[in-house]
Chain A
């Protein structure tokens, strides 16, 4: 089995989610003939490449035209690399970038793709893959027909692969850019600035829902509790729709799918699409004024009451040790 793992990065750091994709790929390979390598794409990649080499052998595709992850360009060079390396499988973490790029690559490689995989099993010759459907209410077991197979995995379902004691080889590839289209141009990128950890990578996530009435209240209560727990903040779709929180905080089927060690839901009722985004969390704690709220069905510990009354008290108790 020859597997390429698409390595996502921000220009200086490898994305932790890609290490989960790596561990999925490593779980599929055992023999001396098997290989798992990172595929790293961009411009000025020395720093990321040396980081990547702590985890796996790394193939590097560098070019000015590849400075930004634009799907029509990346998909083509990724498909080329899969073909030229004769890979049997292309794996990536299921991030918004992979959904954009890897899916496009998959079509160039024959379309045998499963996205958002959360578990796998070898049954005879077949690789069976579990993936959530219907907003996470149902798990489908699927098999892919054809080769190469293209698989994206939910990072929350696989532990990040640990670094090795040795350093693996970094091999530059020269991308064929002759046919790479340049029709799509990035005009502007508006990135978030937050001192808190990323919601997809934090061990503790505190999320707020409809009970929070303003951005200030959200910051004070949800942000305050997150800071007391050294965690990240998340949000239900209602607050994003209401303009109270930015969209990158949204946890749910159509937002981020996360599985922190501890998830705290403040004033979130627990709509199906929200539960799909957090139901794999290890411990779930919920506060809601409605004792019938569905979030309590999905919680380990629940408290019925007003978040405005309870949370300041909770923050004070946690801060006082």
Chain B
């Protein structure tokens, strides 16, 4: 069985994000980058599946410039068997990312695509669903538990109403939620081994994909809210403020 795990390069979530002066994007010069935390959870789950089923092969994939090798190296150090980088200097929207992933799926024929429910930079929550639709594969989004059986998958999904358990056949796309697992840190032997593994490079052209933007970013700005920031000193005063706030609703 083969599992494809997309791993996006995103700024570390602990970092303060600053908008560029010309509002064209964010300042990235000073930022440390990581594997999108949701993708890391997907990769961890893939590794756990392989710990149960020794025949499983995990392929980490990324769509980006040479810097993305840093995240693929992390994925290899965590336990991916091999990695593919689709060379691309532009930042792709979910549609075009899904087009690239679809082409990779057609080339690699995985049984399962496991990926984060969203990337924590664009926060679109679209790419997995787009990919499943393009492939006409069944999907299970927001997985908080995955049971990988011989011929089918059992997935607990987190919905607004509670937990929904679904059954679906292979091949499938699963997007993962926070509570699925706690991703491991790469071990020192893992890091050493990862250095020797090769990261295959393919161009978008090789995959027959051309970037055709569907969502165009005009500008970005910092989201600031104006708060009163009044500090009170007793529960009595706070109760008064609460009553006032409720009255004005």
A interface with B by C-beta (< 8 Å): 10, 70-72, 75, 95-97, 99-100, 103-108, 110-116, 128, 131-146, 181, 183-192, 200, 203-204, 229, 237, 240-241, 246-248, 253-254, 256, 261-262, 264, 272-273, 279-280, 282-285, 287, 296-304, 310, 313-314, 317-318
Selected A-B contacts with CB under 8 Å, 9 pairs: A100-B142, A111-B94, A133-B220, A134-B26, A138-B222, A138-B223, A254-B177, A298-B227, A300-B227
* Given A115-B126, A262-B245, A298-B227, 7 other A-B residues pairs in contact with their CB atoms under 8 A: A111-B130, A115-B124, A134-B121, A139-B220, A185-B166, A262-B246, A280-B225
Check if B235 sits within 8 Å of A313, measured CB to CB: yes
Q: State which of B94, B138, B217, B248 has its C-beta within 8 Å of the C-beta of A183.
A: B138
Q: A261-B245, A301-B228, A303-B232 are in contact. Are A133 and B139 (CB under 8 A)?
A: no
Q: A96-B158, A132-B123, A300-B230 are in contact. Are A183 and B220 (CB under 8 A)?
A: no
| Residue from B140, B227, B234 having most chain A Cβ neighbours under 10 A | B227
Encoded as 1 (CB less than 8 Å from any A CB) or 0, chain B from 104 to 127 comes to: 000000000000011011111110
Residues of chain B within 8 A (CB-CB) of A285 are: 238, 241-242, 245
Check if B167 sits within 8 Å of A107, measured CB to CB: no
Q: A136-B223, A137-B17 are in contact. Are A187 and B154 (CB under 8 A)?
A: yes
Check if A72 sits within 8 Å of B121, measured CB to CB: no
Residues of chain B within 8 A (CB-CB) of A254 are: 118, 177-178
Q: Main SS of chain B's interface residues?
A: mixed
Residues of chain B within 8 A (CB-CB) of A137 are: 16-17, 222-223
Check if A140 sits within 8 Å of B220, measured CB to CB: yes
Check if A96 sits within 8 Å of B160, measured CB to CB: yes
Q: State which of B121, B216, B241, B246 has its C-beta within 8 Å of the C-beta of A142.
A: B216
Number of A-B contacts (CB under 8 A): 257
Q: State which of B129, B160, B213, B223 has its C-beta within 8 Å of the C-beta of A139.
A: B223
B60 within 8 A of A: no
Q: State which of A100, A264, A273, A296 has its C-beta within 8 Å of the C-beta of B129.
A: A100
Check if B231 sits within 8 Å of A296, measured CB to CB: yes
Residues of chain A within 8 A (CB-CB) of B136 are: 181
Residues of chain B within 8 A (CB-CB) of A264 are: 242
Nearest 8 Cβ contacts at the A-B interface: A111-B95, A107-B133, A103-B129, A261-B249, A107-B130, A188-B165, A300-B228, A317-B239
Bound CA span A49–B222, Å: 41
Q: State which of A272, A282, A287 has its C-beta within 8 Å of the C-beta of B13.
A: A272
> What is the CB-to-nearest-CB distance from B201 to chain A, in angstroms, rounded to a whole number?
26
Check if B233 sits within 8 Å of A296, measured CB to CB: no
B interface residues, how many (CB within 8 angstroms): 81
| Residue from A143, A280, A283 having most chain B Cβ neighbours under 10 A | A283
Cβ-closest chain A residue relative to B162:
A191
Check if B230 sits within 8 Å of A113, measured CB to CB: no
Check if A142 sits within 8 Å of B17, measured CB to CB: no
> What is the CB-to-nearest-CB distance from A115 to chain B, in angstroms, rounded to a whole number?
6
| Residue from B98, B121, B241 having most chain A Cβ neighbours under 10 A | B241
Bound CA span A136–B229, Å: 20
Residues of chain B within 8 A (CB-CB) of A237 are: 178
Check if A144 sits within 8 Å of B160, measured CB to CB: no
Residues of chain A within 8 A (CB-CB) of B228 are: 300-301
CB contacts under 8 Å to A, within B200-248, are 212-223, 225, 227-239, 241-243, 245-246, 248
Bound CA span A256–B158, Å: 12
Residues of chain B within 8 A (CB-CB) of A128 are: 218
Encoded as 1 (CB less than 8 Å from any A CB) or 0, chain B from 130 to 162 comes to: 111110101111101000000000100111111
Check if A100 sits within 8 Å of B141, measured CB to CB: yes
Check if B214 sits within 8 Å of A112, measured CB to CB: yes
> What is the CB-to-nearest-CB distance from B31 to chain A, in angstroms, rounded to a whole number?
11
| Residue from B122, B158, B159, B160 having most chain A Cβ neighbours under 10 A | B160
Bound CA span A166–B165, Å: 41
Q: A133-B220, A185-B167 are in contact. Are A107 and B129 (CB under 8 A)?
A: yes
Cβ-closest chain B residue relative to A198:
B160
Q: A111-B95, A132-B123, A145-B216 are in contact. Are A75 and B133 (CB under 8 A)?
A: yes
B192 within 8 A of A: no
B34 within 8 A of A: no
Cβ-closest chain A residue relative to B153:
A184
B169 within 8 A of A: yes
B164 within 8 A of A: yes
Cβ-closest chain A residue relative to B133:
A107
Residues of chain A within 8 A (CB-CB) of B88 are: none
Q: A134-B121, A302-B232, A313-B235 are in contact. Are A142 and B166 (CB under 8 A)?
A: no
Residues of chain A within 8 A (CB-CB) of B215 are: 112-114, 142-145
Check if A103 sits within 8 Å of B123, measured CB to CB: no
Residues of chain A within 8 A (CB-CB) of B140 are: 184
